[in-house]
Amino acid sequence: MVIMVSIIKFRGGEINYLDSDATWHTLLTMQAYDETPISQHKFLPIVSLGGVDNKGISWGATIPDKEGNFYYTSFSPAGFVLPYLFIKVFRLPINEKSLYYFNTLLFAISAVLWAFFLKTIYKSEKWRRHIICIGVLTYIFSPELFHGMGIVYWHQSIMQVMLIAQFLTYYQYKTKNSKKGKIAFYLITLIIPYIEWTGYVANLGFALFELGSDWKFDLKRAWKNAIVIGAITAASFGLFTVHYLSVVAASDFFLALKNRFFARNIASSTLLTDVFGSYLKSFLLLWILLFFLIIWNIIKNEKIELKNKCILFVLAFPLLENVVMKEHALSYSYDRMKMVFILSYLICELVAQILVSYEKRNKAAFIIIAIVTVICCFGNLNYYRKDSKYIWDITYRETNKKISEYINQNYWNSVLTTNASVRGYLNLLFNRGIYEWGDIDSVRDIALQKGKRYAIELKTLDAPGNMYQLTGAIVYDVAVDKFIYIKLRNDGTIVELNNDVEEYNLADLTDENWTSGYSNVGNVLLFYYEEELLNNLRNGTFVSTGERQFTIQDIKYDSQWIEVTVEGDASSCKYPAYISIQ
């Protein structure tokens, strides 16, 4: 089922997508693993590519080592190492599609574990298989999981698998007094904080549950078990810290952790109402299914009875991480995936109650439930595939590649910067380090220090996920003290200009009055209306093709067109010629 859904929802090519910076960040670190000796990075989350020219370039919330490599500190190495090992084992290229395969594998494993967990919970129920079927469908067909365990990859994908494994082993340990279950639970308790911050909150929930469930019967044992969980959690943080301190300075490491925590935590300006409201979109029609089952239960049984409240507590507690780190939960939708555990489990509980209450007509009741569930699930799939807020078409990935190839071929001896943040996409596009939040003046000094001939500022248009559209570049030639302006024209061609001027085309219109935007009866140029163009024309003196200049005599315009009368025969300006205003 997961494989089928993953095939249906996959989109490639000219697209951008919500939280794409997470995917590109992961791909960058995987590429850096390939290009940097293990003795240097020790599989920490490195963001510096190989080669001396890529060292010493800071990048977001990163800290340096003595070799000039920079490392990300907000999340652990585990989320980068596992996909890297996956692509190496299966000999896949480092790209979005390979990461999609890995994410799909995690999605499938988590769905199987969720089915096994429900099977364990409802083992004594007559309608166990039917309940499991509903539970697995609601788990798989969640918009947030379509996305967060699909085209977008981050540590939370692994956490989906590990949280279910922790729930399952704890249940085995507590209900069957299983020694193997206890060992497995403690092992997972050690691992999950190392993977992602939710692990700390989940472990706290289990410790509190130990105290709450056992204190009346054996207070000493309750405290002992809670302390053991706390000690294992502390040991996990110790492993995380020791790993980093084997490469970076302690002062840098702890300062970075503190800064990231206070930037994301509950003290941030993000409203909790916005965070809670975001869950509606994350699971969409599953909320309607839940509401439908609640109403049905109230009508039939006049009450809602949750038999396994302890399980609900354990499933719900990890969600407190979204409250503690609310800014991250709102900014990155994949951080909300763990809500599916509670939602799917509640749906299963309500289904079980309905089926039990209908002794003679339970088959008919299940058919109705199944029909509504399937409608909601496939409605979610259809919504996700069509919702442009998750994935949307763009037109510039190929032209971005063309610009990067042009610059790398003609200006390889250079230093690059852009006046925006850099999160992996641009690094992999140019296959080198790029200074973020810089301009041509700042990078000129760096080029001089590094002995590079060219300083280059990449010109971009803003885009979500830092997958910017490149529009050209400013190049400073240190050797001859000269600026060169690289422009990407509308037809996809790249030109070099001596002046930083905007280029325009006449309207592509031919009729009885116009030929390719040039008047058939006079020296009049026809443009599509643009406010920026109109302002430039008003402030300009000439219209130029680069070879000839034509004096502007008059300007007329309405909401659709701009007509410009010029001096002399300006037929050389006909579409698709490029013209500038000076």
At 265, the pLDDT band (50, 70, 90 cuts) reads low
Task: Quickly name the fold that domain 397-497 has.
Answer: Rossmann fold (3.40.50)
Q: Which two tokens stand for residue 266?
A: 């509950």
SS (H, E, C) 501-549: CCEECCCCCCCCCEECCEECCCCEEEEECCHHHHHHHHHCCEEECCCCE
- Mean pLDDT to the nearest integer, 332-339: 91
pLDDT of residue 264: 62
Query: In the predicted model, is pLDDT for residue 446 greater than 90?
Result: yes
Q: What pLDDT digit, counting tens, does each position of 479-525 carry? A: 999 999 998 887 788 888 877 778 888 999 899 999 999 999 889 99
Q: What pLDDT digit, counting tens, does each position of 385-395 carry? A: 999 999 999 99
At 267, the pLDDT band (50, 70, 90 cuts) reads low
> What average pLDDT does the chain have?
90
More reliable by pLDDT, 217 or 114: 114
- Mean pLDDT to the nearest integer, 448-463: 92
Q: What pLDDT digit, counting tens, does each position of 192-226 carry? A: 999 999 999 999 999 998 888 777 777 888 899 89
DSSP 413-471: SEEEEESS---SHHHHHHTS--EES--HHHHHHHHHHHT-SEEEEEEEE--GGG-PEEE
pLDDT of residue 268: 66
Query: In the predicted model, is pLDDT for residue 470 greater than 70?
Result: yes
At 263, the pLDDT band (50, 70, 90 cuts) reads low
- Mean pLDDT to the nearest integer, 179-186: 92
Which of 232-236, 498-502, 518-522, 531-535 shows the lowest mean pLDDT across its residues? Answer: 498-502
Query: In the predicted model, is pLDDT for residue 461 greater than 90?
Result: no
Asked if 53 contacts 41 with a C-beta cutoff of 8 angstroms, the reply is no
The model's pTM: 0.88
Residue 212: CB atoms within 10 Å = 13
Q: What pLDDT digit, counting tens, does each position of 115-147 carry? A: 999 999 988 778 889 999 999 999 999 999 999
pLDDT of residue 266: 63
pLDDT of residue 202: 94
Residue 512: CB atoms within 10 Å = 6
The Cα–Cα gap between 350 and 18 comes to 33
- Mean pLDDT to the nearest integer, 269-288: 87
pLDDT of residue 125: 77
